[in-house]
Amino acid sequence: MKLQKNCLYCNTEFTARATTTKYCSHKCNQRHYKQKQRDKNIEKALSENNLRVLSAIRAKDRGQSVQPVQQEEFLNVPQACEFLGVSRGTLYNLINKNCVKINKLGRRTIVKKSELLNLFEYEN
């Protein structure tokens, strides 16, 4: 039994040997699978970003102040990483090399924002 079908990925007409065939070739099948995975990852990232925005709006509605990292004077480790655009490991490497001074509040590590800005000042 042979049927004329359109490929789901490239939309070309092909002759299918079975009724369940969806793609004209294995290559189109692979490419469509990859495209679906990319779309799923993009949708996931967008939904996570939307959740952050919604939580900030809810906090603002409750009267809690939500300050962006740029306005705060003292930062915790994740905020400092976001401010510098580096990973946690990189920030801890800078701390261990004494490039960045920290303070401990109990178990929390606090970094003064001016310390992070001093990383970019060059002394001759």
Q: What is the largest CA-CA distance in the chain?
A: 81
User: Model-level pTM?
Assistant: 0.44
* Overall average pLDDT of the 101-117 stretch: 89
- CATH code at 83? 1.10.10
On the question of pLDDT at 65 being above 80, the answer is no
pLDDT (mean) for 26-35: 95
Together in a domain, 79 and 57: no
* pLDDT tens digits along 84-93: 889 999 999 9
Can you tell me the mean pLDDT for 40-63? 75
Mean pLDDT, range 43-56, rounded to an integer: 76
User: Rounded to an integer, what distance in angstroms lies between the CA atom of residue 65 and that of residue 72?
Assistant: 11
* Count of domains for the chain: 2
Q: Are residues 19 and 51 in the same domain?
A: yes
Both 42 and 76 in one domain: the answer is no
Residues 6+ apart with CB under 8 A from 114: 73
- Is residue 1 within 8 Å of 17, Cβ to Cβ? yes
Q: Looking at the structure, do residues 57 and 78 belong to the same domain, yes or no?
A: no
Residue 123 lies in a domain: no
Containing domain of residue 111, as a range? 69-118
